[in-house]
Amino acid sequence: MNFKILTIATVILLVAVIVVAYLVVTPQWNKYSLNKTLLAAAQAQNSEAKRAQADLDSFIKSFKEHQSEVSRVSSALPIKSPELPNLLSIIQDAAKTNGVVLSSFVINDSDPQNEKASPDNSIQSTSIRISANSSFSAFKNLVLHLENSLRIMDLGHINLKADDNGILLFQISFQTYYQK
């Protein structure tokens, strides 16, 4: 009988130890699992931050290498104003180079109300219409010159008419842009 009591006591003690161990270990195991998941997420976030930092460093290096080209880009898309005197100079030089005689130059600047309503760093447009006369080859060279100039211009409408002397009379309407 002593042996039976000892065996029952041992079994009860073993079950009690297992229950207590389960009650103590289970919450700790849950905390461990949660912390392991949080650690994996933090490591992934750290890896992403390191990759972003590397991309940023690469961008800064590239920016510093190309910083000398800022003036060229600025002339392609002027900042804060359409820089109409420079644009007129570009068009006059192109006309003179190609033997085109300009007869009129009309600027339809953007609506001031729209300009005030548009957010900073938005792209604004200015409509330009020029009238001129020349030979067809000079006209073609002028259009190519304007299309290939550094200043961004979108040729929209061209109206051609030849007179009795073979002189080509034309109007060119185009848009140019600037950053507000």
Whole-number Å distance between alpha carbons of 147 and 153: 7
pLDDT band at 38, cuts 50/70/90? very high
pTM for the model stands at 0.53
Residue 113's pLDDT is 55
Mean pLDDT in residue range 108-122: 65
Helix (H), strand (E) at residue 69: none
What is the per-residue pLDDT across 121-165, written as a single tens digit (0 to 9) for each?
677 888 889 999 998 889 999 888 888 887 888 888 889 998 888
To which residue do tokens 């600047």 refer? 109
* pLDDT above 60 for 60: yes
Residue 120's pLDDT is 72
Candidates 143, 118, 121; CA nearest to 132 is 143
Torsion of CA 84, 69, 146, 172, to 10 degrees: -40
Lateral strand order in the sheet of 168-179: 101-108, 123-134, 168-179, 153-162
